[in-house]
Amino acid sequence: MPERRKLTDAGIARLRARAREYTVWDTQVAGLGVRVRPTGSRTFIYHRKAGAGVRKMSFGPALLGKVEDVRRECLAAASGAGGTDSAVGKAAPLFGDFVAGCWKADRFERCKPSTRRVFAGLLRRELLPAFGTRRIDRITHSMALRWFEAYSRTAPGAANAGLNLLGNILNHARALGHVEANPVSRLRRNPARKLTRFLSREEIARLHRVLDRRANGSASEAQQADIVRLLLLTGCRKNEIMRLRREEVKEDRIELGDSKTGPRTVLLNAPAREILRRRMAQGNGPWVFPSVRDPARPRSHSLDLWYRVRDEAGIGEVRLHDLRHTVASQAAMNGVPLPVVARLLGHSNVAMTMRYAHVGDREIEAAAERVGRHIVAIMAGRSP
């Protein structure tokens, strides 16, 4: 038997999840109900006869609306009156129009500048060309899957980021009643690459020698060599150095106005201070590493020198971001406590730092040898 009762805001808030999805139907307006999923989410739905069939509508999360307002919209939809303030009874907007309108105002503008740059690039290169001219309620699971698989063949990590953004947009459309369900919510992301690569002592030394040679090359090569060396000396993220402003550089630290985890301070060691002192003495624009062609702009996203440098140093499989892993690993192997390493890298919690603080096989072998000698000395009655 269908479960029926007079829906109230307080009663809806008390509804609890069960092992299977269920719906509680309103006794005041026929066809109005609250669907409760096993996850605990509660959604206003409305079923009404339309010709020979039944038209199903969604009014978004039940905890974000008032039941009396939803009743009025149901009655308006049933009478064909519609309403200027509701998505009910209207054709859903095109994906491109929705992104440029509601989603941009409600979600995009609240993001940090660095996040907005990433989102804008994904929209421009991938999502708008693929879905921009489609009605947002006509984007299907299979359509999204085909796009995701094609993108994943060339850039699996970026495809994950694009899928997350698409899901964010469609979730907002669902909350506003434009779609009944998010068609990408169950798509499986590409497995993340294991963060196990960092440079050994010998590899750091080889990289240092190659950077020394490149520092005597063109102005662009010398600039890129300094950027790479700063990444290795500070553990900063690439954009934190490439988009570094002069005003953020202090005598013994960098005060970043915007990073992945918000504003943070990076304390500088002596070699890093020397590089920045030399760079600050060159030019007078806003950027520490300006574009060679246009000093009013920061250096572009690309660091093409890195690919040549790593090949010369015999570390061709190493990513630029692995320099950040190297800083964490060297700190951990030299006895720096993980909470301090977390502060050094600008992590919001130590759990993130533990993914980076790896210990290499050679270090494990050396530790095993030291422990073995220590135990043998004790067994032999010698002072360890």
Whether 216 and 264 share a structural domain: yes
Judge whether 13 lies within some domain.
Answer: yes
Query: Mind giving me the DSSP string for 288-339?
Result: SSB-SS-TTSBPPS--THHHHHHHHTT-TT--TTHHHHHHHHHHHHTT--HH
- Look up the domain containing 156 and give its range: 95-175
pLDDT of residue 199: 86
pLDDT of residue 369: 67
Whether 64 and 99 share a structural domain: no
Judge whether 370 lies within some domain.
Answer: no
Task: Return the half-sphere exposure (C-beta side, CA atoms, 13 A cut-off) of residue 309.
Answer: 29
- Distance CA(133)–CA(151), nearest Å, equals 19
Whether 74 and 135 share a structural domain: no
Q: Pick the closest to residue 138 from 194, 175, 98 (CA basis).
A: 98
- Distance CA(175)–CA(87), nearest Å, equals 11
Whether 219 and 324 share a structural domain: yes
Whether 256 and 356 share a structural domain: yes
Whether 234 and 351 share a structural domain: yes
> Phi/psi class of residue 135: alpha, beta or left (left: φ > 0; alpha: ψ in -120 to 50)?
beta
Whether 238 and 318 share a structural domain: yes
**Helix 156-175 and helix 141-152, axial crossing angle in degrees, nearest 10:** 160
Which token pair is 326? 């190297």
Which token pair is 127? 């999502």
pLDDT of residue 171: 92
pLDDT of residue 89: 44
pLDDT of residue 86: 41
| Dihedral angle computed from the Cα positions of residues 296, 230, 249 and 261, in that order, rounded to the nearest 10 degrees | 90
Judge whether 27 lies within some domain.
Answer: yes
Kindly report the CATH number assigned to the domain that includes residue 275: 1.10.443.10
pLDDT tens digits, residue range 369-381? 666 676 667 666 7
- Distance CA(371)–CA(272), nearest Å, equals 36
Whether 74 and 100 share a structural domain: no
Task: Please tell me whether residue 139 adopts helix, strand or coil conformation.
Answer: coil
Judge whether 14 lies within some domain.
Answer: yes
Whether 300 and 227 share a structural domain: yes
Judge whether 119 lies within some domain.
Answer: yes
Residues pairing with 11 in the sheet: none
Whether 29 and 164 share a structural domain: no
DSSP tag of 281 = T
- Distance CA(181)–CA(173), nearest Å, equals 9
Judge whether 273 lies within some domain.
Answer: yes
Task: Return the half-sphere exposure (C-beta side, CA atoms, 13 A cut-off) of residue 104.
Answer: 10
Give CA 263 to chain center in angstroms. 17
Q: Pick the closest to residue 158 from 167, 148, 168 (CA basis).
A: 148
Whether 169 and 293 share a structural domain: no
Judge whether 217 lies within some domain.
Answer: yes
Whether 226 and 352 share a structural domain: yes
- Distance CA(221)–CA(271), nearest Å, equals 19
Domain count of the fold of the chain: 3
The neighbour count for residue 366, using CB atoms within 10 Å, is: 11
H helices present in the chain, as ranges: 9-14, 67-79, 95-98, 104-106, 113-122, 128-131, 141-152, 156-175, 201-214, 219-234, 238-242, 270-280, 305-312, 322-333, 338-345, 350-356, 361-379
Kindly report the CATH number assigned to the domain that includes residue 71: 3.30.160.390
Grouped pLDDT means (10 residues each) for the chain, 384 residues: 89 91 91 90 84 75 80 75 44 90 89 87 94 90 92 91 95 88 91 74 91 88 93 89 92 84 84 93 88 83 86 90 84 75 74 61 59 68 67
Judge whether 85 lies within some domain.
Answer: no
pLDDT of residue 235: 87
